[in-house]
Structure 1
Amino acid sequence: MSSKRPVEDKAEAYTRALLDAARQEGRANADLVQWQHAKKFSPEVLETLSAMQAEDDASLIDQVAKRYKELLDSEDKTVSVTVTTAVPMGDQLRDKVRAQAEKLLNAPVYLVERVDPSILGGVLLEARGKRMDASVRAQLSHIRKTLSSAFIGGEEQ
């Protein structure tokens, strides 16, 4: 008998219990999405959620999340910087962007990376409510405006 069988049986039991409960509540697909994200949770988050559920405190999840963010923001001086590029950044570019952002903001930086092919190239940085657009799309737009005003200005003279 294979040693994997008890593990497979356990996984099957958990799966069936989860699916049956989700079907009864009419949320089988929604629970599947949540389950796929659950594997990303740290053990501490899972333990806290379990404790809250056991104490019938699941209704406090939003309050705990809000307070967690408040405490983190008050104690941690790390700045969240959203970096948008046309293609995923490599390690070398990521390190360079982080170093430049830390120098510019005079603080440690946490990068939130986004990919948006419509910017064509370059980089778009957002932090502390400000935006620095060094994308190719923005540069082309600026060139278009400059040429348009020069052309129109040249006609009027």
Structure 2
Amino acid sequence: MSASSVAESTTTAVVSAKPVQDIGLLSRIDAAFGTAPRPEHFTNYQHCEECADHDRLLRTRDRQTLSLADVGNPGWDPLCFITPEGLAYYFPTLARLALAEPDALYGWYADQFLFHLYWGYRDNAFLQFCTPEQRATVAALLAWLIEQRAALIDADGSVDEWLRCWALWAEAA
């Protein structure tokens, strides 16, 4: 089943695009995550050199300067090692990257972002860290992407993963 047909058939089950747009998705994300404090360290930097490298990079960025070039390579992704506190801090920036059109070099970031929201399923440390309001906001972001970026989801063949991830966050909200 394609994402576009799933989106059409589950519009009321997920959330219709108009209400999400009406409430201002980015404003909702900023309200839910914008006050998350910047951690002193973003990874377990003493674990290994790779964790230390990723921590150094993330410590040199903030919400305004973190870019797709920093997080867009799945083979060298500092978010694979980030703490839930660090992910909450960067969430508004990462959501904006996920909402953006595909990049010529890195492709569509939302597919990679999905991994961080879905990894470990119910044991996902970020899911467990988030408040109910933050979980509902993540679910709204996922619903918007499922509806509005159905063609990109179809192209990647990841419809089932997107729907399961949305259900995970929506149920936990």
- Place the TM-score, normalised by the shorter chain, in its bin: under 0.3
Structure with bigger gyration radius: 1
* TM-score, length of structure 1 as denominator length: 0.20
* TM-score, length of structure 2 as denominator length: 0.19
Structure with greater proportional helix content: 2
Structure with greater proportional strand content: 1
